[in-house]
Every structure is written in structure tokens, then in C-alpha cells.
């Protein structure tokens, strides 16, 4: 009997050691790949040498060799949970298709994308149907060699070495709160703020991803992070019908006023 007890005790002890080892490894993997702050690793999420789509609400069409996948959590000064709240912060509101996109990386190694958008409908601003506008936003995929020209974090060295194996076919990806990115050929509603610091007229979506709704058939939707982490998110207007969106934009728009420090007076644009 004592021998049996010793055997059972050894088995239980072995199981406990195995469980602790799994927990330690899992914790390391999570910290290494799902961090939330602004450096390369372990704070930023990262994954090496995998093939990923270009990014969309569902799936992308362009396959890229992503050697570093960065995601950051943003804390906005305010949240725009409803269309009315988006309208109150928008200088320009349009419906338009992405005709082209150009990724960029600035001197702080922050990745963004400039989108050339062709206007299909203008609800606020001075644009008309057929005009094109540049929308600049955070997030994108850029050649790794361009990124590492700006990034001098020692933690990035392992990814730099990976890039040097195939410099023409390795990319770094940056996502704000994990948000999908607009795609060429797709049409979106854009709630935009004028970028007064730029010499040319460039616009930024309100709160990065909150001011972009993709049109999918007769419905529209936007990206939103885990609702559990955002107060009041249960009441956010993240999905609705196309007709409801257009009606909400039009209702009362002519009676609202844009910040006087911005470029454009309040107008309803005509085709």
C-alpha cells in the first residue's frame, strides 16, 4: 500500500511540474507576441517569417512575407461611438473608393499609409463627385528595409537579420489596436479631419479607425476592438444598413458647425 501511495505521489508531482512548465512557457509566449506598448519586443506583438494578407474586415488579396507584426493600443482623448459624434468632429464627410495607396514610415519609425480616394458622394466639405482626395492614416505594410532605415531599437536586430536574407520581399506591418486597413477597389464612408500642419490638403480619419466604415452590399461596418475594454461600447454604432448610414449623415448636417479653426465651412456638397 505504501509503495502504491509513493507511486501515485510521484505521478501527481510530475503532473504539477509539467503544468507549471506549460504555464511558464505560455506566459513567455504571450508576453513575447502580444505586448501593448511602443517598442519592438517584447512590448510589441511580433511574429517572424509568416505570410499574411494585406488587411481588410475579412480577408485580403495580396500575400506578403511579414517578418515583424506590430500592434499598439491607442488611448483616444474621446470616443466617437455614434454617427452623430463622428459628425461633430468631422470637417469633411464623403463616400469614396480607394484608388491607390502608398505606405510610409516617418523618422520616429511610425508606419502609415496615404490613400488616394475618389469621391462618389460628398456630404460635408467642398468636394464634388469625381474629385480625388488624399487620406493619411496610421497603420500599413512597408518594406522592412525602409522601416529599419528609421528604426534603431537594439531589440529589432533579429528582425533586421531576417530582412537581410530577402530585402525585396520582407515587410513590417503596423496596426492600430489591430484594426484592418482600407483596400484598393473598396468603397467606404470617411469621416475626416483636415490636417492643418500639411502644406497640401490632406485629411485624417477621425480617431484612426472609428471614422471609416466599409460598404459591404447593403450594409456598412467599422472595426472596433474588444468591447469589454471600452466603456459604453455596447451602444456604439459599428454596424448598420447602407440606407441608415446615409440618412444619419444627412439628418441635421446643414445645421451643424465645424470648428472655426479648421479649413472648411459647413456645406452640403452637391453632385
- Each of the 271 residues of the chain gets a pLDDT tens digit; together they read 433 334 334 433 443 433 343 333 333 223 322 333 333 433 344 443 444 444 444 444 458 899 999 988 888 899 999 999 999 999 999 999 999 999 999 999 999 999 999 999 999 999 999 999 999 999 999 999 999 999 988 888 899 999 999 999 999 999 999 999 999 999 999 999 998 776 678 999 999 999 999 999 999 999 998 765 777 788 899 999 999 999 999 987 653 433 333 333 333 343 3
pLDDT score, position 25: 32
Distance CA 178, CA 138 (A): 11
Q: Which three cell numbers stand for residue 117?
A: 480616394
pLDDT value for 31: 32
Residues 6 or more apart in contact with residue 261 via CB below 8 angstroms: 196
Q: Can you tell me the distance from the alpha carbon of 210 to that of 195, in angstroms, rounded to the nearest whole number? A: 17
Spell out the residues 6+ positions from residue 121 whose beta carbon is closer than 8 angstroms to its own.
Answer: 94, 95, 96, 129, 269, 271
pTM attached to this predicted model? 0.72
Identify the pLDDT of residue 199: 67
Q: Which residues contact 257 (CB under 8 A, 6 or more apart)?
A: 266
Q: Which pLDDT belongs to residue 252?
A: 73
Contacts within 8 Å (CB) and 24+ apart, 196-200: 196/261, 196/262, 196/263, 198/136, 200/134
Q: What is the pLDDT of residue 114?
A: 97
Amino acid at each position: 500500500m505504501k509503495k502504491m501511495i509513493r507511486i501515485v505521489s510521484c505521478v501527481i508531482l510530475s503532473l504539477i511540474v509539467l503544468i507549471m512548465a506549460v504555464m511558464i512557457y505560455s506566459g513567455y509566449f504571450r508576453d513575447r507576441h502580444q505586448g501593448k506598448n511602443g517598442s519592438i519586443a517584447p512590448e510589441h506583438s511580433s511574429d517572424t517569417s509568416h505570410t499574411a494578407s494585406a488587411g481588410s474586415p475579412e480577408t485580403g488579396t495580396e500575400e506578403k512575407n511579414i517578418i515583424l507584426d506590430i500592434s499598439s493600443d491607442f488611448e483616444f482623448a474621446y470616443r466617437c461611438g455614434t454617427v452623430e459624434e463622428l459628425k461633430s468632429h468631422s470637417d469633411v464627410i464623403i463616400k469614396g473608393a480607394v484608388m491607390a495607396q502608398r505606405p510610409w514610415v516617418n523618422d520616429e519609425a511610425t508606419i502609415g499609409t496615404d490613400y488616394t480616394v475618389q469621391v462618389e458622394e460628398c456630404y460635408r466639405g467642398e468636394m464634388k463627385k469625381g474629385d480625388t482626395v488624399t487620406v493619411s492614416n496610421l497603420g500599413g505594410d512597408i518594406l522592412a528595409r525602409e522601416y529599419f532605415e528609421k528604426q534603431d531599437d537594439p531589440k529589432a536586430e533579429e528582425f533586421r537579420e531576417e530582412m537581410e536574407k530577402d530585402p525585396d520581399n520582407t515587410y513590417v506591418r503596423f496596426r492600430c489596436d489591430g484594426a484592418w486597413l482600407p483596400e484598393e477597389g473598396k468603397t467606404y464612408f470617411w469621416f475626416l479631419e483636415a490636417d492643418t500642419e500639411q502644406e497640401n490638403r490632406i485629411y485624417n480619419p477621425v480617431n484612426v479607425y472609428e471614422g471609416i466604415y466599409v460598404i459591404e452590399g447593403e450594409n456598412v461596418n467599422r472595426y472596433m476592438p474588444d468591447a469589454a475594454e471600452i466603456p459604453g461600447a455596447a451602444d456604439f454604432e459599428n454596424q448598420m444598413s447602407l440606407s441608415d448610414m446615409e440618412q444619419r449623415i444627412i439628418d441635421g448636417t446643414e445645421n451643424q458647425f465645424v470648428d472655426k479653426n479648421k479649413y472648411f465651412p459647413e456645406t452640403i456638397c452637391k453632385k
